[in-house]
Amino acid sequence: MQKMLRTSALSLAAVVMMAGGASSSLAATFVQVSLWDKGSDMTMPMGFSYATPGLDATKATMGMKASPATVKAGEVTFKVKNSSKDTVHEMIVMYLAAPGKPLPYIGNENRVDEDKAGDKGEVSELDPGKSGALTVTLVPGKYLLICNVPGHFDAGMWTEFTVTP
């Protein structure tokens, strides 16, 4: 009798573990995104857009960081925090059809053409210190997370993001 109870308990434990594993694989992957800048009193140098030849991103006065920077395909939730003390930022997910090539840019507006660039969703303008979230289903490929507030992308507010099969 005791052996039968032990076998039943082990079988039940195996079923619970398998069910838990199945449900966790269907859950969204979470990515923390920090939007940062060195303050509004800093000069905002330009020329830090994605795919700029000879880019030295260490000189940018704005940027963003995604952690992790690589996830598996499926549902992804971006938890975005504007770490700035005085500047509004946003985060837009762009699919890179041609990684390494510049995004379509509207020069007179000083921003990326979101419609032509492959916009997959966004956390719109966040006031300093505020947070937001976006959940999207992503296929394998290269992506760029950008801030498209005028001038911010060219000031270095972007980061590469990879989705694997």
Whether residue 130 is predicted with pLDDT greater than 60 in this model: the reply is yes
CATH superfamily of 28-164: Cupredoxins -  blue copper proteins (2.60.40.420)
pTM of the shown model: 0.81
Residue 26 has a pLDDT of: 58
Q: With contact defined as beta carbons under 8 Å apart, do 80 and 123 qualify?
A: yes
Whether residue 109 is predicted with pLDDT greater than 60 in this model: the reply is yes
Instruction: Name the percent of the chain lying above pLDDT 90.
Output: 67
Average pLDDT (24-40) is: 84
Higher pLDDT, 68 or 23: 68
Tokens standing for residue 109: 């507006």
Cα 78 from Cα 64, distance rounded (Å): 13
Rg from Cα positions in the chain: 21
Domain boundaries along the sequence of the chain = 28-164
Whether residue 5 is predicted with pLDDT greater than 90 in this model: the reply is no
